Chain A
């Protein structure tokens, strides 16, 4: 007994002394808050004549739009367009943002803040009464380049409808936010907006308007009662419709109609080409060969779609809906999917040259950023700019009509991003601003894309961040698993990695096997179980990093969020000799429970996405319950730090509670940090607080390795 006490005392003393020694090197809360501050210029646009740049900027709690003359940068016009918004149950505020910012003409700018829905104060009403409607704030505004003629063109009140007036119910005014479809081809002074219909027995039809950007006058183009989820062509006509894709009818198909017809027809039934025939998806075929509509070309007969039929990666092609034949359009990449996977319509990835009315390129999903240009001139500019910024991602955002000036965002590596105007004729890159001017390059840790061989010949990649001033030499290593199912590749710049590097840790954000966006072969590379494959990838990653940089292989942390968090904790079970501790945020500790929620009287059948996930998981682990973390309590041996939402009673919270009790029972060091939604909204204060707790956890459980426990002796 005496012996035990002595050991513990010695250990505690060592820990305290060690932690105290490290305290001086800890990053300040201000530094952490700086890393988690939202970046500037989430939206930016170049005028058609290349003279003006307009971008968003936070000014205190306000959102401003700044208009700058590129030739005379001192000349700026600043307009306050919105303010930070209240978040329910939070002391912090959500930053305001724009959903649209584009130049209509060389001197007229159109912009729209994101839709703000204020829920009604009274949420339940007596039976027979129409529930009160939320207040919707969704203005579309315009201003001249010199700040003149500022105007709210339309707002949600413009499209307000009175509903519930029949049947004795109290009528309620329901505001509707207009969705911006884009400028009318050939006439940028007209903005196409779509207003959704209002459901119910007396359905209000959905409408499409042309909006005059100078005076806000509306001209109705169409009005029809149709389900949501339509795809409009560039001229503002509803042309494509999704059908199915919900729990009771999981098979999803698309309906289309020609330019001059009102009749909807099933796309997969009338297409003759083999790829087009795959315009249908079910949970079983989600990861197989199929085709997904992306949008329409300037020629309204041409549907642009993504397909991986007969290929490893998704390419982008054209289908003429009048002839049902493939067009010449074929944009492909050997190792990257040019479209994200989606049950219905993937996020827009097409880049058009509006002046020339042509498709210019396609942006691939995920990181590193990639745009495949079909326009050879733009491709040439891309190549020349990439030479100027090695190891960065260069993204051509827009260009002027003369193609003399290009708006470029350069990001990745160590830098959170900078915006440039490439003045081609002068050969000058004008740096307009930094997205995070409070984070100078020299204050950030070197971060770079790395690629290396993984198990079974798989090609693995990730982003390696090395600390500028490690606390220990060699520094410990954190392996961060990519999150999602299938996992989404890590972003190029990561604030979290910078915080960890501040703490003296090297960080490898690992894109383990099966990440999205790299084609079917990479996605299907998991054969021996998703958990074991990730652990093996981590082993290969640690070995590779150690071969390139000095790291302390006895101090390796497994880390991840969501499904990545599960992989992190599971990896410490499967490869206990590799890791010293695990850090997991909202970990899905029991995948079986996650994809198959326990049936109760409120739950319906599994959703489309749940079915997709289940099928995906079961392909690599037929007995899902065997891969759960809490199913292997005996295998837990390392300290665990978990961040989770305490106020939710969901699968995650249940798993965390079970893990806690298992760890407690086995006397394993652990900390379950309950956080609010602020943390998940990325609000700086909440993040800083959580990382402070993580730092303490790491001080005690990672950096204490060198505390020597001497030979056994009896103390009298």
Chain B
């Protein structure tokens, strides 16, 4: 984050955002107020300028800035993303079928509404347990749900210069981190590091590589033959190595620096390995890396790879790498128009809903205010006759986030019936339907195939949308694990996809393995448990997986 801000002169804000749920990216409280809340949008008033709306590929914008500022932001964002996706193909980023939303707000309109809410909460807090007056609002942030993202940006229009905008490293990291199937850590680390050292304008300029430490980097620059340690491919591509070397040991630092070196080496046009690299990266996300697979992509083996990286290292630490993208076709002028009431409610409501989870987790005392605000925004649109399926989905998800499952059901049923594009809506509806079944028959009850059909149907539809949610795979597995009838072919395919995509998550993988085991696919179950075991980080999870493995052993006997 700091690197990205430094690079863009401290200006670029919207995409340099806090990603909720990612601990590493929580706001830096040491340098700011102790409590930092997501921005709250002021209630509409006749004095305020009208909301503007724009939609481009995969994103919706709601802006209370001038048309000029809004256009500058949207079009520059598009151009930067185009460059980014030339640098790193889009398939390596998180894919969302639900367009991301961005709310742009002029800095000068920053309202006192949030401050009023904060004051109120503080008064309550002071009465109860003594106060902490060090509370403020985050200027800009990005929040995400399992199937959607939202960005809020305050823009100082007097200072605004669209050329200075860049895509923040944290955003790139987020897109890589959340991609499914999960990208291997060396790839995420390598791309993120290289991106953080890049300037994206007409050309992409990547700064000289930082190797292990500044001192070591300088020494390598001065003496190209200087001894250097690189990890062998068998270690570098092993998930176990990455787990073990999370710290700041020399081996850990080498591992991270080498990941950047690998990406940079692959991007170097003189090496002619760019296409091979992305082909390899795509396969590495799907299956364990083997030398045969590596060779099929690059045309040489592991040992040669290590040697080539080592040979390239002195160049990488000494030289800038300039990449010249092709001339992209000129983008169509983005249409910016006044937003409709439905669009305002939906985008505002989405932002406010996205805030709930973060606030509830970190500052529970502010939670009700955010829930109330989101409900009001969405309900007002509904009351005024808006029947957009997306609005129903939002209303349902808002109630789920507020802890009101009962209130959510009707909205979710409507949204799903209208075939909304909202993976989480399908999952939540399936979850509620299963809960109902379980409530009727008890937790240990076995299901008949006909009974679970209403649960499976939304799950299948939801899993056909991007991103396929881990929870949905797990729920699908749970359902089949409690049914005596074998799943049909299409559900086997979904479970196999879940096993492939979620092997790194023991929580989900264990549940899929149980379904495999229940229906006689013991070998698949054992293989999946083996992979899941490698990723288990605590004893409780390992014990659970071991118990499941023992059950499978019994079944085999």
Contacts and interface: CB of A to CB of B under 8 A. Distances in A.
B226 A73 contact: yes
A415 B310 CA distance: 12
A415 to B, nearest CB: 6
Given A387-B234, A446-B299, A441 B308 contact: yes
A389 interface: yes
A70 B250 CA distance: 15
Given A390-B302, A431-B227, A415 B250 contact: no
Interface residues of B, number: 30
B139 interface: no
A567 B301 CA distance: 33
B21 interface: no
A227 interface: no
B311 interface: yes
A413 B223 CA distance: 27
A248 B549 CA distance: 77
B276 to A, nearest CB: 13
Interface string A377-410: 0000000000111111000000000000000001
B311 A432 contact: no
Interface in B194-229: 219, 223, 225-229
Interface string A682-710: 00000000000000000000000000000
B304 A429 contact: no
B271 A442 contact: yes
A430 B234 contact: no
B341 interface: no
B251 interface: yes
B303 interface: yes
A680 interface: no
Q: How large is the interface on A (under 10, 10 to 19, 20 to 34, 35 or more residues)?
A: 20 to 34
A414 interface: yes
B232 A418 contact: no
B319 interface: no
B235 A388 contact: yes
Given A427-B251, A428-B251, A390 B301 contact: yes
B261 to A, nearest CB: 13
B227 A389 contact: no
Contact of A437 (B225, B235, B249, B251): B225
A442 B311 contact: yes
Contacts of B225: 433-434, 437
A428 B254 contact: yes
B235 A441 contact: no
Contacts of A432: 227
Contacts of B291: 390
Nearest to B241: A427
Contacts of B307: 414-415, 418, 441
Contacts of A427: 235, 251
Contacts of B249: 426
Nearest to A413: B303
Given A414-B300, A428-B251, A74 B229 contact: no
Contacts of B231: 428-429
Contact of A428 (B229, B303, B306): B229
Nearest to A410: B303
Contacts of B235: 388, 427
A413 B304 contact: yes
B35 interface: no
Interface in B491-509: none
B230 interface: yes
Interface in A421-470: 421, 423, 426-434, 437, 440-442, 446
A429 B250 contact: no
A233 B303 CA distance: 40
B251 A74 contact: no
A418 B303 CA distance: 11
Nearest to B299: A446
B300 A388 contact: no
A680 to B, nearest CB: 30
B250 A426 contact: yes
Contact of A430 (B229, B301, B302): B229
Given A390-B291, A391-B303, A428-B250, A68 B227 contact: yes
A432 B291 CA distance: 25
Contacts of B234: 387-388, 390
Interface in B290-320: 291, 299-304, 306-308, 310-311
Contacts of B226: 73-74
Contacts of B311: 434, 440-442
Contacts of B299: 446
B300 A389 contact: no
A106 B230 CA distance: 27
A68 B219 CA distance: 15
Contact of A433 (B219, B227, B251): B227
B303 A431 contact: no
Contact of A415 (B251, B302, B303): B303
B277 to A, nearest CB: 14
A116 to B, nearest CB: 29
B303 A392 contact: yes
Interface string A197-223: 000000000000000000000000000
Nearest to A388: B232
A610 B230 CA distance: 51
A551 B311 CA distance: 30
Given A429-B229, A430-B228, A414 B251 contact: no
B228 A431 contact: yes
B230 A429 contact: yes
Interface string A15-48: 0000000000000000000000000000000000
A410 B308 CA distance: 14
A252 to B, nearest CB: 43
Given A428-B251, A437-B225, A442 B308 contact: yes
Contact of B303 (A68, A390, A423, A442): A390
A393 to B, nearest CB: 10
A429 B235 CA distance: 11
A368 to B, nearest CB: 13
Contacts of A410: 303
Nearest to A468: B299
Contacts of B232: 387-389, 429
Given A68-B227, A388-B234, 18 more contacts: A388-B233, A389-B303, A390-B302, A391-B301, A413-B301, A413-B303, A414-B300, A426-B249, A427-B251, A428-B229, A428-B231, A428-B250, A428-B254, A434-B225, A440-B311, A441-B311, A442-B308, A446-B300
15 contacts: A68-B227, A74-B226, A388-B232, A389-B302, A390-B291, A391-B301, A410-B303, A413-B301, A413-B304, A415-B303, A418-B307, A429-B229, A431-B230, A441-B307, A442-B271
Across chains A and B, which 6 residue pairs bring their CB atoms closest together, nearest first? A388-B232, A441-B307, A440-B311, A73-B227, A428-B229, A392-B303
